[in-house]
Structures are given as structure tokens and as C-alpha cells.
A and B are shown apart, each in its own frame.
Chain A
Amino acid sequence: MLTKRIIPCLDIKEGRTVKGVNFESIRDAGDPVALASLYAQQGADELVFLDIAATNENRKTFSTLVREIARHINIPFTVGGGISSVEDASLLLEAGADKVSINSAAVRNPQLIDEMAKAFGSQFVVVAIDAKKVGNPWVVHTHGGKKPTDKKLFSWAEEAQQRGAGEILFTSMDHDGTKNGFAIDALSKLNQLLSIPVIASGGAGNMGHFMDVFLLGKADAALAASIFHFGEVPLPELKKYLKDRHISIR
């Protein structure tokens, strides 16, 4: 049986791991390769690395890091942050990334999803969506959650799927950093709407939240950062907790 995936996310700035709570404040949590190896040993199903200070100057530094990660890590990983062209993605694929996630660039130029899916296959293309509830609709934001757009979560996710996205990584900005649980209602609606896997992000605070995101939110995978980095929810305990409660877990 296909299992639900637990995905630690490592935010990277100048080759080091950081975690921005609510996208703003930043704390240093160490060497990405060492942390990633530890998570792989502890049973992480995948890893995500986000270059949060992506600029043209440090693009090369990041691809060197991606190569080091690929050399040492024996589980799949996704990289994202500032990817805005097929050439950017190609550099990361060549360095050993299994998937890339695109966010702002896809909102600006949706055609990029089609181009990347055609060049590398849908399995390589994760479309990351940051959204926030403004009144009733979920409004998509770009630039690390700073800029509201005219796109809405559900229609944008459907469009991304049609254009060839292989997965949707949905971060609820309302839940991110709160540790009060994932955006269950929005996730469950996304799952009904889409035929590609959905990764839930934003709000993980305890083991029960993962139970909810899989059972009620119907997510295929759940992503979290600080609760893993600071040891609040150890991965092996989390996996045992979910297994004991009959969630399909590796």
C-alpha cells in the first residue's frame, strides 16, 4: 500500500539551514547535509530544500550544495527558491535534484509549468502555492508571502495541474508558524479537486496534527520544519505514533 509521506523542509540561506517563523524571523539550525542525513536515517520519506535568499549571484552556491546533498542522501529531495526558467531547473537536475518546486515564477508566467513538464516530465515539477484566507477566498501570495496576487488557491491549483504539475505543495500562510494544526478544510477540498498528490504545509505543532492532515485533510504528504529542527516532534516517534493509529506509514 502506498504510504503517506513525512517531509522535513530545510530553508537554506548562503549554504546554511534556517527557519523563518511566519516567513520573517530567522534562526540558524545548522549544516544542511548533516541535518538531511540525520533525517534520512530517521525515516524521512523525502526532503525539501528551499533557497530563501535566492539571487543570481548565489545560484551557483546553491547548485553546489544540491550536488553535495545528492551525493550523500539516499532518499528523494525537492529543491526550490527563485527558479524562474527551464535553464535554472536544468542546472539543478544536473546537480542531482529529483524535483524542483516553482512558486512566484509560475504565477508570473504560468506557461513555465508547461515548459518544465515538457522538458523534464511532470514528476519533476512541484508547484508551490502560498495562500491566505482574505474574507472567503484563499488568495495566492508570492515573494515569500509578501505580495498578494489576483489568483485564488483552488482555481490556480487546478490550472497548475492542467499545465503539467506533478504535485501541489500548499502552504497556508494563516497556519504557518502557529503550531495549531494544518488547514484541514482547504486541504480536503484540494484533494477532491485534484488528481495529482498534495503536500500539506503550515501549522504542524504536534503528532495529532499529522493524524488530522492525513485522515481529515486527505493529504498525500505533510511537510514541516521547525518542529523537526528543534526536536519538538522527533521523526521516529511521529512515524510510530501514526503507524499505531493505522495510518499507512513506511
Chain B
Amino acid sequence: MKVAIIKYNAGNIRSMAFAMERLGIDYSITDHQEEIKKADKVIFPGVGEAKSTMDYLQVHKLDLLIKDLKQPVLGVCLGMQLMCAYSEENDTKCLGIFDETVKQFIPKNAEKVPHMGWNSIALSNSWINASLDETYMYFVHSYYVPVNQHTAAITDYIQPFSAALQKDNFYAVQFHPEKSASVGENVLRSFLNIPA
């Protein structure tokens, strides 16, 4: 199996690559259209800001490419948010794979923002292995995707939000599986084990 990790102007793509190495998976970090299309699985990682990364994807024609992919695609953190229709972060139109608006966290009881650290996920009918229900994952984000018809896992911070999504061949997690110890590696395995 060959995994393509999409190369763009977002931070910490290296961490995802190292996670693939630890799992013994053959991968490449690439922005080459044909290489991405041919891969068995595609990972769309990222830490960063919505507007500048969407601009970059458009200039490099990766926006249309990602939407049209047919193999299983995993969006992580910013990658998941960019898969939605729109982000409140700098008023950014996103890819529109999930018809949702990415919202900014507004503290209700002096909660800290960003939501940073380990929080538990609640699963139901999810593509994520059921044994990972109620385990803790590592989150770092100031914007969130509300719970919707495509929500595959829920986490509670300020209010319940989407910790994972799924629609057709598109999978996504708000947390960082590559930084969530062995349980995070099991989430990556759940994705890698999805039949192509």
C-alpha cells in the first residue's frame, strides 16, 4: 500500500510522515497531481491558518484535485476544517466536501482557547475502531466543526463538537492521531485498513 501525504504550506507535515514510518507504511510527501491520484490512501494533514493555506491550495490547483479524489482520504486538524464549506477563520471559503461552517470557540465559563491538550472522544457507528471509544486524543485548535449528520465522533469542550467526520470516501479527525500516543496510531490503522 502506498500513502500520499499532501504537501502544502501547513505546519507539521513531518510528524505525520514519522507516524507512517513508525507504522511501517510506504509513503511520500507530495504535491504532484498524478502521484496523489495514484496513491491507495491520501492524508491531508496540517496545522496553520485557513485563509493562507486555501490560497496556496488554489494556486497549486490542489483544491479541485482533493475534492475529486476517489480513494479514502483522511483530513487531520486544519485538513478537516478545510474539507468543510466555509471557515470563520479570516472569512475563508473552503473545499466544500462537508457542507458545514467551521466556527470559532467562544468561551462560556472562562474556558481557555485554544482547546489544547488531551480530551476524550465518544464514538457511534464510526469508521474509528470501536475499542477507541472514550479514549483520550490530543487536540490543538481554536475553531471547530459543529455536530452534524456526518459526525463520526464527538468531543465536549465548551459544547459538543465533531471530533471526527465521514462522508463517502472522505474521513477526517479534528485531533492529531500522529501525536496521540498508541491510541492515535490505532486511529491511523483504522483509516489505513479501510478497503480502497
Contact surface of A with B, Cβ cutoff 8 Å: 1-3, 5, 40, 45, 70-72, 74-76, 93-96, 98, 120-124, 166-167, 194-197, 220-221, 250
Whether B179 contacts A3 by the Cβ 8 Å rule is no
Q: Which residues on the A side are within 8 Å of B157 (C-beta)?
A: 2
Whether B15 contacts A96 by the Cβ 8 Å rule is yes
User: Which of A71, A197, A250 is the one whose CB lies under 8 Å from B18?
Assistant: A71
Whether B180 contacts A74 by the Cβ 8 Å rule is yes
The 10 closest A-B pairs by CB, nearest first: A250-B136, A96-B14, A250-B118, A123-B140, A3-B118, A76-B179, A2-B119, A71-B18, A197-B112, A74-B181
Whether A5 contacts B112 by the Cβ 8 Å rule is no
Q: Given contacts A3-B118, A197-B116, are A74 and B182 in contact (CB under 8 A)? A: yes
Q: Which residues on the B side are within 8 Å of A72 (C-beta)?
A: 22
B26 within 8 A of A: no
Whether A96 contacts B112 by the Cβ 8 Å rule is no
Q: Is the interface of B mostly helix, strand, loop or mixed?
A: mixed
> How many angstroms between the C-alpha atoms of A94 and B181 in the bound complex?
21
> How many angstroms between the C-alpha atoms of A94 and B107 in the bound complex?
32
Q: Contact string, B126-138, partner A, CB cutoff 8 A, digits 1/0?
A: 0000000000101
> How many angstroms between the C-alpha atoms of A75 and B113 in the bound complex?
20
Whether A75 contacts B112 by the Cβ 8 Å rule is no
> How many angstroms between the C-alpha atoms of A40 and B11 in the bound complex?
22
- Of all chain B residues, which has the CB nearest A74? B181
Whether B181 contacts A75 by the Cβ 8 Å rule is yes
B49 within 8 A of A: yes
> How many angstroms between the C-alpha atoms of A1 and B115 in the bound complex?
11
Whether A96 contacts B18 by the Cβ 8 Å rule is yes
Q: A3-B118, A167-B116 are in contact. List 12 more A-B contacts (CB 8 A).
A: A70-B15, A74-B180, A74-B182, A76-B138, A93-B12, A96-B12, A98-B140, A120-B48, A121-B47, A123-B114, A123-B142, A250-B118
B184 within 8 A of A: yes
Closest Cβ of chain A to B147, distance in Å, is 17
